[in-house]
Chains A and B, each alone.
Chain A
Amino acid sequence: MSKTITIDGKIIPFEDGQTIMDAAMAAGVYIPHLCHQPEFTPHGSCKLCTVNVNGRNCSACTFPAMEGQDVLNETEELIEDRKKITQMLFVEGNHFCPSCEKTGNCQLQAVAYHLNMLDNHFPLFYPDREVDASHAEVMIDHNRCIFCTLCVRASHEKDGKDVFAISGRGIHKHLIVNAKSGLLKDTDIDASDQAVHICPTGALLVKRTGYQVPIGERIYDHKQIDQVALAASGSRPVAALQPSMAVGTENIKHGE
């Protein structure tokens, strides 16, 4: 019999080496996330996928699935906290959905809708950030970067380049590109690079392709992000067998 964990009482099978996110996605259970994409090394930074594992908060995208885990995902408290974390991402940057080309295709916006985020809640930071439109085909709008590092990972892991990196500390974190001038035009980026197309927000855009799909006909205009994410991962939802009674302990070694 395969190994299992429970998520919100549902029994979910997993294989060794899978994270809680992997197991959940495969079983058709959506856990909100922004910095995670199944084909890239998990990062664990956005913290939207925080789940409660046997009483302790963990990032589902990095935490290994282990026998005996009783995972809470869709609790009122976690949904509320995820909403606040999303609001944090909105206020630290400059996100003006109505004037953004990515609207309707934006995962940040879609997650916000999914979590029923109706306002910013926190005071806006209005940071002074720039737009790098130096490149002929690709542009960076730093106002919309959420530091998920997906472009960094895609460039390194898929494109075999290192066009992007995150630099700086704390709230001063920012995306940098690999060119002495600091400008995108002097990097070896190509509009067909995976890194260009992986951005969950409108921070990285291909020029002269704006509004080709009209607003109202975009990915998240008709579907919730959970449907889209699960369909993309090719998951086969399993019906809940029965509520589990299993409560186990994690066999992990804690640091000092």
Chain B
Amino acid sequence: MKQFIQGIVENNQHQATHLLQILREIQSRYHYISEDAIEQLADLLSIPRTQIIGVIEFYSFFHLSPRGHYELLISDSITDHMLGSKELLAYLADKLGVVVGEVSADGLVSLDKTSCTGMCDQGPAGLVNGHALTHLDRAACDKIAELVKQQKPLEQWPPELFKVDDNILKSGLLLSQPLELGAALKSVFKQSPEQILTEIDKSGLRGRGGAGFKTASKWRFCADEAETQRYVVCNADEGEPGTFKDRVLLNTYADQVFEGMTVCAAIIGAKHGFLYLRGEYLHLHDKLENILAQRRQNGLLGSNILGAGLDFDIEICLGAGAYICGEESALIESLEGKAGIPRNRPPYPVTNGYLGKPTVVNNVETFMAAAAIAVNGGDWFASMGTEKSKGSKILSISGDCARPGIYEYPFGATIQTILNDCGAEDVQGVQVGGPSGTFISNQEFERKLAFEDLATGGSFIIFNASRNILDMVHNFAHFFAHESCGFCTPCRVGTSLLQKQLDKIVEGHGSAGDVVALEELCQLVKNHSHCGLGQTAANPILTTLERYPDLYQNKLKEISYEPGFDLDAALETARRMANRDDAGAHLAQIEVNEHE
């Protein structure tokens, strides 16, 4: 192991900023990161051991104790649940003879749940040793169990288990007109970076990650900084449950995304760029590296790009299972080899980003659109969309519809139009923008896709009339509690309290004041949390509480006081210790007649 780690560290030039990449390799080879490995890394990278442990314990895909040689994870997204993943997980656990969350006695296999893997249109989905599994069903589980039993190396597993489809079902402004290689860069060099920035400004392009900050302004702020060492970062940490469009863009339009990053580099004067790819998209890694290599060969990346004197290159960094890294300052921390904890702002990344230098962080789709605007001009883009939301939006549609997949719409499209196109019937409501977005009911389908109405980073999950909305809210509440980085009190404790309070109501232990208490807690977490995660974590509860108050109220007991937990279950330890199980050792949850 010593030699193996020595080798990886040398390949990473002893850079502590590469800690995540180094840990990924160790985890992949040994299925955990041992004390000895930590000791050696601390020495080789000249960082405290505690920093390494802090990173390992922060990211879901790193472990201090051994996972199975086959590490199986099943996506716990609501979209996977809707496709039967819960039953499938139980089935797989049975087949493999392993308890969910644990490692088999022989160390061969471990099985657990993981946050949305971005395969919502082809679930139930999962990961085996980091590689995406799609279209899981009982037959696939049987096959997997057999392959594990035979200890077949992953390379010999049937490729259909790993088949990932694009499912592009509606192309618009961007998807229907892919650029020729180098077209955007030629346009930059033919005109000037300043002129292209003016075009991007004119286009009205706003960040596609969801928040919608004006792209041209961000680039200009960065370009105006006195510090000349600047960075371009593409945020491909697509972790919002229900979002998978960046996976498709990087699978099929990667050149255009890289070109958009290079256009940005020309404008802001950056020499180095990063693609921060979520760990769940490991399957795209080698393909993307090849595309980068090809671009270097074609003079589109590297030194003196297209002979025009621009030096710029792109490095791919893989995440390791942390939704919070989609937040731009957490992403930068992660790029620096640290736990993804959002920074205090100001200063903002445009002035103090990667290594404290001015940095532009944009979404995959934003860079793709910027490349297209560099070729086709600002007016071309601005001719579509609404006054405040120009151009188009690429949606990831999943849930209850006949044709889930990728759809591109001009901003301003109504929800009803979208539902008609994807074949959604008997719709109860739609979660627009993922768990951090808004739940809308079937009374609101004339609302529009736009920053000024329903903003979304791309997630669009449809629920038909057969679905229990509280199941969705429950799933989202647990998701946020799991993904909270824990930095600030309101989010660290608040997301767990939200989960507890919601469980209490859903499980029927709530009484008169409990919905009011839930709402108060929502406001506290929303108003006081450090970053977007905490500020939006209560949205699933707030938006459904607003639309379906009865759903919550009907769960409450009609008594003035109901114990907040199961009284009889709480006595279990005492019964065991006293070796009693008679009637006197049990408690009824409520004294039935007492309150009448």
Contact = CB atoms under 8 A, between A and B. Distances in A.
A62 B344 contact: yes
Contacts of A89: 489, 493
Contacts of A171: 481, 484, 486, 492-493, 495-496
Interface in A67-114: 81, 84-85, 88-89, 91-92
A47, A50, A170, A253 — which one has the most chain B CB atoms within 10 A of its CB?
A170
Given A88-B493, A253-B351, A165 B213 contact: no
Interface in B317-367: 322, 328-329, 339, 344-346, 348-351, 361-363, 366
B327 to A, nearest CB: 9
B66 interface: no
B348 A253 contact: yes
14 contacts: A46-B488, A46-B489, A47-B489, A47-B530, A88-B490, A88-B494, A165-B53, A168-B57, A170-B483, A170-B492, A177-B50, A180-B49, A253-B346, A256-B207
Nearest to B529: A47
Contacts of B487: 45
Contacts of A64: 346
Interface in B500-535: 500, 524, 527-530
Nearest to A169: B58
Interface in A28-74: 42, 44-48, 50, 57, 59, 62-64
Nearest to A175: B50
Contacts of B322: 169
B492 A173 contact: yes
Given A62-B344, A177-B50, A45 B57 contact: no
A252 interface: yes
Contacts of B25: none
Interface residues of A, number: 45
A129 to B, nearest CB: 15
B329 A255 contact: yes
Contacts of A215: none
Contact of B348 (A92, A172, A176, A252): A252
Contacts of B48: 162, 165, 178
A111 to B, nearest CB: 12
B35 A180 contact: yes
A62 B497 CA distance: 26
Contacts of A88: 489-490, 493-494, 497
A44 B53 contact: no
A63 B53 CA distance: 30
A123 interface: yes
A173 B486 contact: yes
B350 to A, nearest CB: 6
A238 interface: no
B301 to A, nearest CB: 24
Contacts, number: 144
A166 to B, nearest CB: 7
B530 A44 contact: yes
B189 to A, nearest CB: 27
A220 interface: no
A167 B489 contact: no
B211 A170 contact: no
Interface in B543-573: 564
B575 interface: no
A98 B50 CA distance: 33
Contact of A254 (B344, B348, B488): B348
Contact of B50 (A81, A169, A170, A178): A178
Contact of A91 (B351, B481, B485, B493): B493
Interface string B23-66: 00000000000010001000000001111011011110000000
Interface in B458-490: 481-490
Interface of B: 35, 39, 48-51, 53-54, 56-59, 207, 209, 211-213, 218, 221, 322, 328-329, 339, 344-346, 348-351, 361-363, 366, 481-490, 492-497, 500, 524, 527-530, 564
Interface in A112-128: 122-123, 125
A147 interface: yes
A168 B486 CA distance: 8
Given A47-B489, A123-B564, A169-B486, 9 more contacts: A44-B488, A46-B488, A47-B488, A47-B529, A122-B493, A162-B48, A165-B50, A178-B49, A256-B328
A155 B576 CA distance: 46
Given A88-B494, A165-B50, A256 B209 contact: yes
Given A169-B57, A169-B58, A255 B530 contact: no
A167 B495 CA distance: 18
A88 B501 CA distance: 14
A176 B329 CA distance: 24
Contacts of B211: 255-256
Given A44-B530, A255-B328, A81 B524 contact: yes
A133 B322 CA distance: 33
Given A88-B489, A176-B54, A255-B211, A170 B482 contact: yes
A140 B486 CA distance: 20
Contacts of B481: 170-171
Contacts of B213: 254-256
B496 A84 contact: no
Interface in A210-256: 252-256
A14 interface: no
A167 B363 CA distance: 29
Given A125-B496, A169-B58, A171-B481, A252 B489 contact: no
Interface centre among B51, B59, B351, B497 (most CB of A within 10 A): B497
B481 to A, nearest CB: 7
Contacts of B53: 165, 167, 176
A253 B486 contact: no
A57 B344 contact: no
A193 to B, nearest CB: 15
Contacts of A253: 218, 221, 346, 348, 350-351
A46 B56 CA distance: 24
Contacts of A170: 481-486, 492, 495-496
Contacts of A254: 213, 348
A123 B485 CA distance: 21
Task: Select the residue from A57, A167, A169 with max chain B CB neighbours within 10 A.
Answer: A169
Contacts of B488: 44-47
B55 to A, nearest CB: 9
A92 B493 CA distance: 7
Nearest to A164: B50
Contacts of B35: 180
Nearest to A93: B493
Contacts of A50: 528
A92 B494 CA distance: 10
Contacts of B361: 255-256
Contacts of B212: 256
A5 to B, nearest CB: 15
A256 B524 contact: no
Nearest to A64: B346
Contacts of A42: 344
A107 B345 CA distance: 26
Nearest to B499: A171
Nearest to B564: A123
A222 B211 CA distance: 49
Nearest to A85: B489
